[in-house]
Structures are given as structure tokens and as C-alpha cells.
Amino acid sequence: MIIEKSSTWKDNFLERLENDGPWDRFTLYQMNAEVQKSKLITEFSGLQAPKFLKDLNILDHQLEVAQTVIEEMHGKAILADEVGLGKTIEAGLVLKEYLIRGLVKKALILVPASLLKQWVDELNKKFYIPAIGYKKKVAIDQYDVVVMSMDTAKKSPHREQIIEQDYDMIIIDEAHKLKNHKTQIYEFVQSIKKKFCLLLTATPIQNDIFEIFYLVSLLKPGHLGNYEAFQTAFSAKKRSFEQEEFLKELVNKVMIRNRRNDTGFDWTSRQVETFQIDFTEEERQVYDMLCELKNISSVFSGSFSMITLQKEMCSSKEATYLTLEKMKQKVVNPEEVAYIDEIINKLAALQINAKAEKTYEIVQNAGDDKVIIFTEYRSTQAYLQWYLHTKGITSVLFNGKFSKNKKDWMQQLFKDRAQVLIATESGGEGINLQFCHHVINYDLPWNPMKLEQRIGRVHRLGQEHDVQIYNLAIKNTIEDNILNLLNDKINVFEKVVGELDDILTKRA
Amino acid sequence: MYAQQIHQYLESFFRETDCEILKNQPNFLSVQLTNDIDKKIMNRPFYWQYIEATGGEPNPSQITLITNRDALDEGIWGEVIHFGSPRLNQIFKANHELGSMVKMYENVEDYNLVPWLGMNYKISYQCDRTKEMIFSYGINLVTGTIEDNFHDRLMGVELVEDMPRTVFCLPIIVKPKRAMERLEESIERIIQQDDHSWAEEARTRWKKEIHVLDYFYEDEKEKPERYEIEVKAIEERYTPRIKMEIVSGGLFYLK
């Protein structure tokens, strides 16, 4: 094998011999030899990073992940720990190890914009990795470790600049954002060279099995076969148990997932309750009328708008009204308009929201404990705040689009002043609410991982109580279908990725 | 290196580089840097550029390095230093620059001293993993004899920078350039005989991954650009390489 050498030292030494100096001090010479010895990496295996990170409290499962990624997965992996187990620490450890070993000189970290600052801070303060956050006018060729938001990276001229940099390592946080292979960001990540690559996501499958196929194919094209082969083998109808086991085994060669229970910590448990609520008679009447709309006017024949209205009706009249009013504008036929007006009148006349009453009951039963309510709709959010206020319950609103400052502020207000936090989405990236252990899912999303992420805000390291989860669904409505679908999706996830903590009550 | 070793190391480093130690307590050190050391370890090239351009009066930094966190409780303000801290790394780097080439004499009386070229090499094996070794060799510049563990031998000898008055130094017969080649040849022989299953294993992984990749694109007649990029990434990850780096060396006159 060829041995790479450089002649700089030799030339320099010969020159000094010629001129008889200048010579270095022998003490410094000896010290240098000692330093070199103490920094020597004497083994292929094992981790060097921990001895450079004495102030960092690294947990056992995190060390194990870093070692497995480097020694068994050869630096390409999906880190899929459950929320709250420290995927960032694991990724930082792997990066640090490669930097120390000289295998990585330049690294790029792609993250959602809301997490950029946090990543830069952690890399610098916890790992002593001089990372910079990309802003306009930063000359990225001047820096070895750059943290950039995904949205910036995928656009010109940034994408071209990135490709030019020839990074040795790419880390992508919240990698489930790459589940769709037709998106610009997927295509971009596919096109950059990935000598070493980590994809971080707690939810490698959100909806269907193809998401894991695309994620793995980004990391290691061919590992799960090509698209045709995969489709033939794993499309929903033909799947057999043996195939699922086989797929799980393959996936586990490129993916590590720790569950809370594996970590040796005393995790509190989850109690999930699903309440199936009856509409009031008046609500039921409006719901049925809404369902009839598709037979009455062509404007409502699209299944998407129907589903939206049905879901909204299960949430609040306020949410329903806004959509209905908007769609009414498109209706021309006076008879159809009259029908809609009738619905609107009935909506306006509704006095009781059955779900909100149940919510109030739960909040009341929680005594002095804090409660988080998640809803899908802004108008429901406002309604609930008003409704709880009439019952003498204080609440703060939360929304994923809030700036980091406002999020911190709301989190603090919730902690100090209010009993209830009403949030429109997990928005959760970056908020930690361990001081609360009641979560009401007022509306159910289609995607079980969204539920998992909501719960993860509360059920994380530092939670001292069992976490109570209340899922609310209205009987004999679209929410029955949503519950079924959520169960199916959870099944796929568990078969391919591994078990999940309880999200829904187990199906009988 | 433990905290105490680091403290001792820093103390020697600053003493040897002529930086005045203002305070030396068990948990921390305060030091007045010289211009030269400031340039090497303080990361302020623009300041020094400015001073040199304007001919201004340089004002090298005074720093306090905390080697044990207890000092913080005592209300000491300074930079905490530990094995992984960037500042210590810079000091190591400066040490490397300032302590890599020497000429020394054994401190004896009435002897003929023989010139030796002593060299310390760092050998790295690299694929997707790494392993490093240090080799220390000396070559007798009169007879051409080679000795290993040369650095350890030096550590057992009292050495001085100036030639003792009552010794005679034999002239160099083997040209230093040729001597270096001879040393490298003998290290190369040792490397060739070493166990290189690591490289074989890396090549096996390499082949396997290319195979998997080819399968992914087997139906495509024209392979897309990203295929080539992936091939290159796999190559960079697994290509086994051996690097030889000279850490330090010197001319030693020994009895």
C-alpha cells in the first residue's frame, strides 16, 4: 500500500542543519512528544470524544448509539430515538469523534429554522465544535462547520455554494421533513455528497411504509432495493409477517432507536383514555346537514372540502362557520344558498358544544394540575379560551409560528399564571413542558406521529408524574374513521420500526 | 491528561516560552503573554495586522487559565481549561511549532561524541476508522546503525544545548538526507509486515456498498449524476490510506 508523506518537515530540518539553527528548546521538544502521545488514537474502535468532553453528562445509551453508528454502521445512520432522549447529543458525539479522528474536516448541519440557534449553541458550548449559524453574507467557505436552515439550503444560490464546499459530513435534524421524495429539499439532499451522514427523526414513519423507503434510500440507495422491488414486496395488500420481519431487520441495519424504557431511567408511564362523546341533538342535526351538502351542491362534491367541514364540526361551530361562509361565496344557485343559510342559522343557534363540556370536565377533575389542550383550529382555540374563561379557568394560547422569544414567554406564563395552555399544533420543536402531565387531544390529527410529538413535549426527561392523555372523538362521525386510521398507522410503524409508547387506547 | 497534569503542563509551557507567570495557584494560573505567544494562541490576527501596519505599541494579553473549577467558587474570573478545550488545543499546536527540531549534546567529560539523527514519526491508518502509532527511531550518522525506541533512550541521558567543553564531536559521515531515507525505509518495512486486515475489511465493505448501489440503479440505462456522487462518497469513506507524519526530530551527540 502507498504511504503518504510530506517533505515539509524534512526540508525545514535540513535547512536548519545547514544554518546550524535556530534550534528549539529541549523542554518544549519533550513536552511536544508527551502531548502527541496523549493525543494518540491507539485503537480503531472505541470513542475518543468523551475524554475531550469532560463537562458533558453523556448518558449510556447515547454513548452506545455513537459507537454503533461509527463501528457498525460506518457513519451513515438514521437516529430515531423517541422524543426527549437526546438525539442532538448523539449526533454531536459522532461528529466530534470524526473531527478528532481527522475523518471529517467540514460538516454541514441542516435543521428547521426554529432550531438553528439551539444547534449552534450546543455544538459550541457542549462539544467545543466551532459551528456557525448561516445568515446572509456569511462566507461559508471560511467555516468548517455550518448550521443552516433547510429552507435556505435548498434554494439558489445556497445550494450551489453547499455543493461546492464538498462537505465530509451531513447531519439533518427533523429528517421526517424529507419523507416526500418529490420535494425540493429531498431532491437537494439526494444530490449532495454524503461521505458520512446522520438523519435525525423520532418518527421515521408517519403515514406509510414508503416514507421509510425514501428515507433509507436517501442515506443508502439500494439498501431496501429499488422502488419497483420494494413496492412489489411491501405494498399493503401483499405484506406478510415474514416480510415485515425481514424489512425490520434491514431497516435496523441503518437505524438506531432507543425507547424511553431502554434507557435505564425511571420513566413515568402513560395513561391513555379515549372518550367517545355524543353530539347534542342539535349538533347532530347540523352535522348530518353538512354531510348532505355533497348531494345538494357541486361545490361540496370534492371529498377534501367535505372532510374539512366534518372535522371542523367535530371541533367547534366557530371553525365550521368560517369554512362554510367562505365556500358559500362559490355557490350560485339560490336554492343551494338557502340550504347553506339554514345550516349557518342552526350553527349560530347552537348553545352547547359537547366536546368543550367534556374538556371542561377533564380540566376540573385535574384539580390544580396544569393541562395542555391541542386543537387543529385557530378558531376553536379562541373559542376554548373564551369558554374556559366563562368557567373561571385561566389559559394562555400557543402556536407553532410564535418566535422563540414569544414561545419562551408563553411557556413561562403557563408555568406561573395559567392553568391551561391551548396550542394549535405541537409547535413543539423547542418547548419543554415537563411541569405539566395532562394532555387533551381535543381534535385528532391524521398522523399518529403528530400525537406522539405532542405527548413528547410533556413526557420527557424531568417528568415526575404519570402522564394522562385524553383523546376526544365524537361518536358516529368522521372521527371514528380517524381513530381507525391512526390505529392502522401505528400498526405499520410498530411492525417496521419498533414499538411505540401508547398513543391511543389499545384496540380491543 | 488530568487537571493537575494540565496545570503543570501550562506552567512549563509559559515558563519555557518566556511568558511571565503573574499568579500560580493550585486551581489557576495568570500569565502575561509575549507578543509571539499572543499571536499563536489568542486568535486575533486583525489586531496584530493593525499593530504591525501602524507601528503601534503592542499590548499582548494577560490571561487567567482555570485548571480546576473550584477556582470559580473562589470568585476567580478566567477561562476554564480542560483536555478538550479549544485554547489548550491551540497551546498544543503552538508547542508543536516551537518544539519540533533540536540539537543536543550528552553532558559528559572527556568523550568522543557520536552524532545521531533521532526522529519521531506518527503513522496513521485510515479508512472509515483510524488508528495511530508513534515510532521513534535513531540512526548513527557515522556507522548507519539504526535503533528503535530512540526517544526513550534520550530520556535516560542528560542532554544540554551547548557542547560540553571537554568533548570531541565525530564528524557526520552519513548525509542527513540519506539518513532520513534509511529511517523511512525501515519504518515502511515494519508497516508492510503489519496486519492489514483493517484495509481488507474496508475494501470488502466498499465492494458491498457499490453492489447495493448498482442494484438501486440497475433499471436505469443512463446512470444519473447522483449515482456518480454516491460512488465517490463510498470511495472516500472506505479507501484505505496510510499516512506518515514527522512529529519531531533532532541531531543528538551521544557518547
Single-letter amino acid code for the residue at B64? T
- Report yes or no: A236 at the B interface, CB cutoff 8 Å: no
| Residue B204: per-residue pLDDT | 95
Which residue of A5, A7, A18, A28 to mutate against B (max B Cβ within 10 Å)?
A28
Are A5 and B13 an interchain contact pair (Cβ–Cβ within 8 Å)? Answer: no
Residue A423 half-sphere exposure, CB side, CA atoms within 13 Å?
Answer: 30
Are B95 and A28 an interchain contact pair (Cβ–Cβ within 8 Å)? Answer: yes
Q: Percent of chain A having pLDDT more than 70?
A: 96
| Residue A237: per-residue pLDDT | 62
CATH topology classification for A266-276+352-496: Rossmann fold (3.40.50)
Is the confidence at residue A454, as pLDDT, over 70?
A: yes
Query: How far apart are the C-alpha atoms of A140 and A153, rounded to whole Å?
Result: 12
- Report yes or no: A39 at the B interface, CB cutoff 8 Å: yes
Which residue of B7, B85, B102, B235 to mutate against A (max A Cβ within 10 Å)?
B102
Tracing cell 436517501 back to the chain, one arrives at A218
Query: How far apart are the C-alpha atoms of B3 and A146, rounded to whole Å?
Result: 31
Are B246 and A10 an interchain contact pair (Cβ–Cβ within 8 Å)? Answer: yes
Segment 93-132 of chain B within 8 Å of chain A by CB? 95-96, 98-104, 120, 122, 124-126, 128-132
CATH superfamily, region A49-262? Tandem AAA-ATPase domain (3.40.50.10810)
B9 vs A contacts (CB less than 8 Å): 31, 34-35
Which residue of A4, A20, A24 to mutate against B (max B Cβ within 10 Å)?
A24
Q: Which three three-digit cell numbers place residue B192? A: 508492510
- What is the rounded average pLDDT of the residues B15-24? 96
- Widest distance between CA atoms in chain A: 106
- Report yes or no: A2 at the B interface, CB cutoff 8 Å: yes
Q: At what angle do helices A116-127 and A87-100 cross, to 10 degrees?
A: 50
Q: Which three three-digit cell numbers place residue A203? A: 418518527
- Report yes or no: B184 at the A interface, CB cutoff 8 Å: yes
Mean pLDDT computed over every residue of chain B: 93
Q: Percent of chain A having pLDDT more than 90?
A: 58
pLDDT in tens, A239-282: 666 777 888 888 889 999 988 877 766 678 888 999 999 999 99
Are A41 and B199 an interchain contact pair (Cβ–Cβ within 8 Å)? Answer: no
Tracing cell 362554510 back to the chain, one arrives at A324
Segment 236-255 of chain B within 8 Å of chain A by CB? 236-238, 240-251
Query: How far apart are the C-alpha atoms of B7 and B255, rounded to whole Å?
Result: 35
Is the confidence at residue B133, as pLDDT, over 70?
A: yes
Task: Return the bridge partners of B250, or none.
Answer: B102, B118
Are B240 and A1 an interchain contact pair (Cβ–Cβ within 8 Å)? Answer: yes
* Chain A with chain B: Cβ pairs closer than 8 A: 191
- What are the φ/ψ torsions at residue B204 (nearest 5 degrees)? -65, -45
Tracing cell 499563536 back to the chain, one arrives at B40
Burial B168-181 (b: 16+ CB within 10 A, else e): eeeeeebebeebbe
- Report yes or no: B171 at the A interface, CB cutoff 8 Å: no
Q: Which residue of A has its CA nearest to B87?
A: A128
Report the gap between the CA of B30 and the closest CA in chain A (Å).
Answer: 20
| Residue A429: per-residue pLDDT | 59
Q: At what angle do helices A448-456 and A478-496 cross, to 10 degrees?
A: 80
A102 vs B contacts (CB less than 8 Å): 124, 126, 130
Q: Which three three-digit cell numbers place residue B89? A: 488545543
Segment 196-215 of chain B within 8 Å of chain A by CB? 196, 198-199, 205, 209, 212-215
Cβ proximity of B139 and B146 under 8 Å: yes
- Report yes or no: A13 at the B interface, CB cutoff 8 Å: yes
B125 burial (CB, 10 Å; 0-12 / 13-18 / 19+) is buried
Is the confidence at residue A471, as pLDDT, over 80?
A: yes
CA proximity to A356, closest of A305, A288, A422: A422
Q: How confident is the model at residue A330 (pLDDT cuts 50, 70, 90)?
A: confident
| Residue A451: per-residue pLDDT | 86
Query: How far apart are the C-alpha atoms of B100 and B129, rounded to whole Å?
Result: 27
Q: What SS3 state is found at B61? A: coil
- Report yes or no: A7 at the B interface, CB cutoff 8 Å: no
What does the angle CA A396 – CA A400 – CA A402 come to, to the nearest 5 degrees? 70
Cβ proximity of B83 and B222 under 8 Å: no
Is the confidence at residue A428, as pLDDT, over 60?
A: no
Mean pLDDT computed over every residue of chain A: 89
CA proximity to A32, closest of B134, B248, B62, B161: B248
Which of B124, B128, B243 shows the shortest C-beta gap to A74? B128
Which of B177, B188, B199 shows the shortest C-beta gap to A14? B177
- Domain edges within chain B: 3-98, 102-196+243-254, 197-239
Instruction: Among A133-142, A155-164, A471-480, name the one with the lowest average pLDDT.
Output: A133-142
Report the gap between the CA of A257 and the closest CA in chain B (Å).
Answer: 23
Cβ proximity of A165 and A106 under 8 Å: yes
Q: Give yes or no for a cis peptide into A22 (omega within 30° of 0).
A: yes
A14 vs B contacts (CB less than 8 Å): 176-177
B104 vs A contacts (CB less than 8 Å): 26
Are A27 and B16 an interchain contact pair (Cβ–Cβ within 8 Å)? Answer: yes
Q: At what angle do helices A184-191 and A210-219 cross, to 10 degrees?
A: 30
Helix (H) / strand (E) element for A28: namely helix A26-39
pLDDT in tens, B65-108: 999 888 777 788 889 898 888 899 999 999 999 999 999 999 99
Q: Give yes or no for a cis peptide into A157 (omega within 30° of 0).
A: yes
Are B242 and A29 an interchain contact pair (Cβ–Cβ within 8 Å)? Answer: no
CA distances from B248 to A27, B77, B104, B107, B125 (A): 13, 36, 14, 22, 19
Fold match flag (A49-262 vs A266-276+352-496): yes
Which of A31, A102, A192 shows the shortest C-beta gap to B130? A102
Single-letter amino acid code for the residue at A139? A
Task: Return the bridge partners of A76, or none.
Answer: A197
Instruction: Among A184-198, A384-398, A430-444, B22-36, name the one with the lowest average pLDDT.
Output: A430-444
- Domain edges within chain A: 49-262, 266-276+352-496, 281-349
CA proximity to A136, closest of A167, A158, A110: A158
ipTM rounded to 2 decimals = 0.94
Are A102 and B229 an interchain contact pair (Cβ–Cβ within 8 Å)? Answer: no
Q: How confident is the model at residue A353 (pLDDT cuts 50, 70, 90)?
A: very high
Q: How many CB atoms lie within 10 A of CB A113?
A: 12
Report the gap between the CA of B126 and the closest CA in chain A (Å).
Answer: 8
Q: Which residue of A has its CA nearest to B194?
A: A1
Are B98 and A25 an interchain contact pair (Cβ–Cβ within 8 Å)? Answer: yes
Query: How far apart are the C-alpha atoms of A205 and A308, rounded to whole Å?
Result: 24
pLDDT in tens, A208-231: 888 899 999 999 998 888 888 888
Q: Which residue of B has its CA nearest to A129?
A: B86
pLDDT in tens, B142-183: 999 999 999 999 999 999 999 999 999 999 999 999 999 999
CA proximity to A118, closest of A157, A43, A63, A173: A173
Which residue of B4, B129, B160 to mutate against A (max A Cβ within 10 Å)?
B129
| Residue A508: per-residue pLDDT | 45
pLDDT in tens, B117-126: 999 999 999 9
Are B242 and A196 an interchain contact pair (Cβ–Cβ within 8 Å)? Answer: no
pLDDT in tens, A276-314: 999 999 999 999 999 998 888 888 888 788 899 999 999
- Report yes or no: B173 at the A interface, CB cutoff 8 Å: no
- What is the rounded average pLDDT of the residues A106-125? 92
Which of B134, B176, B192 shows the shortest C-beta gap to A40? B134
Q: Which three three-digit cell numbers place residue A282? A: 342539535
Query: How far apart are the C-alpha atoms of A290 and B142, rounded to whole Å?
Result: 103
Which residue of A36, A71, A145, A187 to mutate against B (max B Cβ within 10 Å)?
A36
